[in-house]
């Protein structure tokens, strides 16, 4: 399968713990995005990478959140000292500079539950 993959698919953690999610984009895509989605809402942009460079971070991304894409391939999103408000679906998407629309392809998401 050559789509975007994310691991784990589900994560339950206790408040105050750290969690890390991984995203593997489509192999030829140089652009990678992280979003957060809560029930009944659309995805909210968190951060964007072009190759290994993190080019934009949303103000939603507090200092407890950090993302990396060390070799311009897979990416990780870490949340430190989790809070109950962090419970959400975390979506990763990738795109390339081909075609006219540069549409983003989404992975299946990691559902985080903070208890």
Partner 1 sequence: GQNIDQPTEMTATEGAIVQINCTYQTSGFNGLFWYQQHAGEAPTFLSYNVLDGLEEKGRFSSFLSRSKGYSYLLLKELQMKDSASYLCAVRVRSGGYNKLIFGAGTRLAVHP
Interface ranges with partner 1 (CB under 8 A): 4, 33, 35, 40-45, 48, 50, 55-56, 91, 100-109
Closer of 56 and 78 to partner 1 (Cβ): 56
Question: Minimum distance between the CB of residue 94 and partner 1, rounded to whole angstroms?
Answer: 12
How far apart, in whole angstroms, are the C-alpha atoms of residue 13 and residue 113?
Answer: 6
Strand partners, 95: 31
Closer of 69 and 107 to partner 1 (Cβ): 107
SS3 state of residue 21? strand
Closer of 21 and 48 to partner 1 (Cβ): 48
Q: Are 83 and 62 in contact (CB under 8 A)?
A: no
């Amino acid at each position: 399968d050559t789509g975007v993959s994310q691991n784990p698919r589900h994560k339950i953690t206790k408040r105050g713990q750290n969690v890390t999610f991984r995203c593997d984009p489509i192999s030829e895509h140089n652009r990678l995005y992280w979003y957060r989605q809560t029930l009944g809402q659309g995805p909210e942009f968190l951060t964007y990478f072009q190759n290994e460079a993190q080019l934009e971070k949303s103000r939603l991304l507090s200092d407890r959140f950090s993302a990396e894409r060390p070799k311009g391939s897979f990416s990780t999103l870490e949340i430190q000292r989790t809070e109950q408000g962090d419970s959400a679906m975390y979506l990763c998407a990738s795109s390339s500079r081909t075609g006219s629309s540069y549409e983003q392809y989404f992975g299946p998401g990691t559902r985080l539950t903070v208890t």
